[in-house]
Amino acid sequence: MLDSKKLRKDTEETILNLNRRGFHFDLNKWEKLESQRKELQSFNENQQSKLNNLSKQIGQAKKEKEDTEGLQKDATKLTTEIKELTKKLDKLLDEINDFVMSVPNLIDEDVPDGKDETENLEIRKYSSPRKFNFTPKDHLELGDNKGIDMEAGAKITGSRFKVLKKEIAQLQRALLNFMLDTHVGDHGYEEVYVPYIVNQDSLLGTGQLPKFEEDLFKLDGKNPFYLTSTAEVPVTNLLRDEILESNNLPVKYVCHTPCFRSEAGSYGKDTKGIMRLHQFEKVELVQAVESSDSEEALEELTGHAEAILKKLELPYRVVSLCSGDIGFSSAKTYDLEVWIPSQETYREISSCSNFRDFQARRMKARWKNNKDNSTELLNTINGSGLALSRTVLAVLENFQEEDGSVTVPDSLRSYLGKDKILSF
């Protein structure tokens, strides 16, 4: 959510910024709603003030055993009027809230302009794709009958669900532990375990609601619960309605959860294998910092996600998402894209974003600045470190041998207890 004060003050600048991401800000509607609100609210508050005074007078008069009938009559009239005004005002405020909640975050100045993902800006590349002296198989061919069982997933649930078995299930578990240990041990994150089912307030807080409900799985019970689409939701919402002491900053959480996504709108995309599923595992990094530190925190957090790829010796590149491709809540996003031999292209394996105070404002996540005794909004940053399914995929494909076996990257061998898998 944007600061509505800033929206009122720097309207032109805000609109220009929003235009960069292709968002049309309905200025007419905004100004109309705002002027209506101002008028109605001032008047209503005025009437309320009058009523409060009257009530005090009545209280005073009763104490002194004076007649209050006339005063009470006036007060009743005012009360009725205020009830109606308040109803109108609430309706208007709802409308304004809906409007403001559907406005995306402002983007940072250094976010490249562009209309879609084809115009994302490559920032740097690490390592270079391996040259195979045979035709590399894709992960499904490698895993077929050896641990990736898409048919079983379809039987148990439906399309876009996987079953992993044997060495590939172990590989996923090894990667998971390797990632968590690295972030906790080397990068100083606190590991948290959280619910996988979240409520509406949490989803509103991080920005998945109200705009993106179709991407979520909603449960059917009496409470409006959803399966979490990313650990970002439960983890960032740990800070909701909190006021942190400055000596507790920065907050650095790492968390593994399954992620559930309906993948509405991706029909026909990545239909084969484990690239795009309704359920996948992910390790998520979340930081909360003072606003002056968030740019640096994004660089740091991106580096932490990159460290995993480096240790796994996977070729990747970092791209800065352009203004047309960047997410709704994000001010700036780096995607890490890993090399996928079977597709001869880089594919997203992590997305690291600085939300500045956009999420914090929605969820009232604040910190106490003892220097001037003020309470300020936190800045939140998060990124995948990394998406497990795609890491499994990338390791299988990048480290495959001609005979269909897969060499285990050095850093993973102690976790897996093997140098080589799928060699049968």
Partner RNA sequence: GGAGAGGUGGCUGAGUGGUUGAAAGCGCUCCCCUGCUAAGGGAGUAUAGGGUAAACCCCUAUCGAGGGUUCGAAUCCCUCCCUCUCCGCCA
Angle, alpha carbons 94-96-102 (nearest 5°): 105
Q: Which residue has the tokens 């989803």?
A: 203
* Residue number with CB closer to RNA (79 or 291): 79
What Cα–Cα distance (Å) separates residue 354 from each residue in 14, 211, 261, 265, 422?
18, 19, 22, 25, 40
Site size for RNA (CB under 7 A): 37
| Binding residue (CB under 7 A) for RNA from 13, 16, 19, 76 | 76
CB of 391 to RNA, least distance (A): 29
CA neighbor of 244 nearest in space, from 281, 177, 200, 290: 290
Instruction: Provide the token pair at 52.
Output: 């409060």
x/- string (CB under 7 A) for RNA, residues 165-204? Answer: ----------------------------------------
The reply to whether 4 sits near RNA by the rule CB under 7 A is yes
Q: Which is nearer to RNA, 242 or 313 (CB)?
A: 242
Based on CB atoms, which residue is closest to RNA, 31 or 45?
45
CA angle 103, 106, 110 (to 5 degrees): 155
Classify strands 332-340 and 345-356 as parallel, antiparallel or unpaired. Answer: antiparallel
* Burial of residue 228 (number of CB atoms within 10 Å: 0-12, 13-18, 19+): buried
Shortest Å distance, C-beta 369 to RNA: 9
Q: Helix and strand tally (H, E) in the chain?
A: 13, 17
Site for RNA in 233-272 (CB under 7 A): 243
Position among 16, 27, 31, 52 found at the interface with RNA (CB under 7 A): 52
Choice from 29, 32, 62, 218 touching RNA (CB under 7 A): 62
223 binds RNA (CB under 7 A): yes
Q: Which two tokens stand for residue 274?
A: 């484990």
Q: How far apart are CA 142 and CA 236, in angstroms?
A: 37
Dist CA 251 CA 249 (whole Å): 5
Tokens matching residue 170? 């172990």
Matching residue, tokens 């148990």: 156
- As a residue count, the chain comes to 424
417 binds RNA (CB under 7 A): no
| Minimum CB–partner distance for residue 25 and RNA (Å) | 18
**Using CB under 7 A, which of the segments 47-55, 263-271, 316-324, 379-387 binds RNA?**
47-55
Q: CA-to-CA distance for 205 and 134, rounded, in angstroms? A: 49
Name the segment binding RNA (CB under 7 A); options: 36-44, 289-297, 329-337, 351-359.
36-44
Judged by DSSP in three states, 209 sits in coil
Q: Is the dihedral of CA 269, 272, 278, 280 positive or negative?
A: negative
| Binding-site member from 51, 254, 259, 363 for RNA (CB under 7 A) | 51
Among the listed residues 332, 382, 364, 334, the one whose alpha carbon sits nearest the alpha carbon of residue 204: 364
Closest CB to RNA among 24 and 371?
A: 371
Site for RNA in 358-377 (CB under 7 A): 364, 368, 370-371, 373-375
Closest distance of CB 45 from RNA, Å: 4
Number of Cβ within a 10 Å radius of residue 80:
10
**Of these, 29, 32, 56, 91, which contacts RNA (CB under 7 A)?**
56
Residue selected from 46, 102, 159, 414 as contacting RNA according to rule CB under 7 A? 46
Cβ contact 300:174 at 8 Å:
no
Q: Which one, 65 or 131, has the nearer CB to RNA?
A: 65
CB of 82 to RNA, least distance (A): 8
First vs last Cα of the chain: how many Å apart?
A: 54
Q: By three-state DSSP, how is residue 148 classified?
A: strand
Residue closer to RNA, measured from CB, 74 or 348: 74
For residues 375 to 414, the per-residue mask of contacts with RNA, x marking binding by CB under 7 A and - elsewhere, is x---------------------------------------
Least separation, in Å, of the C-beta of 373 and RNA?
5
Residue 85-104 contact track with RNA, rule CB under 7 A, x = bound: -----x--------------
Site for RNA in 269-328 (CB under 7 A): none
**Residue 65 contacts RNA per CB under 7 A:** no
Question: Counting contacts by CB under 7 A, is residue 19 touching RNA?
Answer: no
Q: Measured between alpha carbons, how far is 222 from 259 in angstroms, rounded to an integer?
A: 22
The binding site for RNA (CB under 7 A) comprises 4-5, 8-9, 38, 41-42, 45-46, 48-49, 51-56, 58-59, 62-63, 72, 75-76, 78-79, 90, 222-223, 243, 364, 368, 370-371, 373-375
